[in-house]
Amino acid sequence: MDSIVIALQVIIALGILNVWVVRAGMATTYRGGEAVSLKDEFAAYGLPSWSMGVIGTLKMLCAASLVAGIWVPQLVQPSAALLGMLMLGAFVMHLKVSDPMQRSMPALLMLAGCVTLIAF
């Protein structure tokens, strides 16, 4: 079971890094509204410009903590809890702009992964 939990920690962390570092400026089929970048997505949700920095920093810290949690297991549950709340917020934002359910799937899958980590 430990190897499954560790794999999930790494998968979630890499997913966050992919969205916030690798694909931040790229259009994807999962962007909210008509956004073509992460910055556009926050604007589409009607969020203030500073919120992208705060949320991005929190998500990156959670991702790093999930990886560090491989060696310091006490970091996993708090990081997964915070990241889960952020993913719930992402889902709500997709609902706010009336996105099709497909666009919400990454946030929901990350939320499910975080709930799983909290449970174990």
pLDDT digits (tens), the chain, 120 positions = 799 999 999 999 999 999 999 999 999 999 999 999 999 999 999 999 999 999 999 999 999 999 999 999 999 999 999 999 999 999 999 999 999 999 999 999 999 999 999 999
For residue 1, the model assigns a pLDDT of 72
Residue 56 lies in a domain: yes
Residue 98 lies in a domain: yes
The tally of domains found in the chain comes to: 1
For residue 84, the model assigns a pLDDT of 98
Query: SS in 3 state form for the chain?
Result: CHHHHHHHHHHHHHHHHHHHHHCCCCCCCCCCCCCCCHHHHHHHCCCCHHHHHHHHHHHHHHHHHHHHCCCCHHHHHHHHHHHHHHHHHHHHHHHHCCCCHHHHHHHHHHHHHHHHHHHC
For residue 2, the model assigns a pLDDT of 92
Residue 31 lies in a domain: no
Residue 67 lies in a domain: yes
For residue 64, the model assigns a pLDDT of 98
**96: domain range?**
2-24+37-119
Residue 29 lies in a domain: no
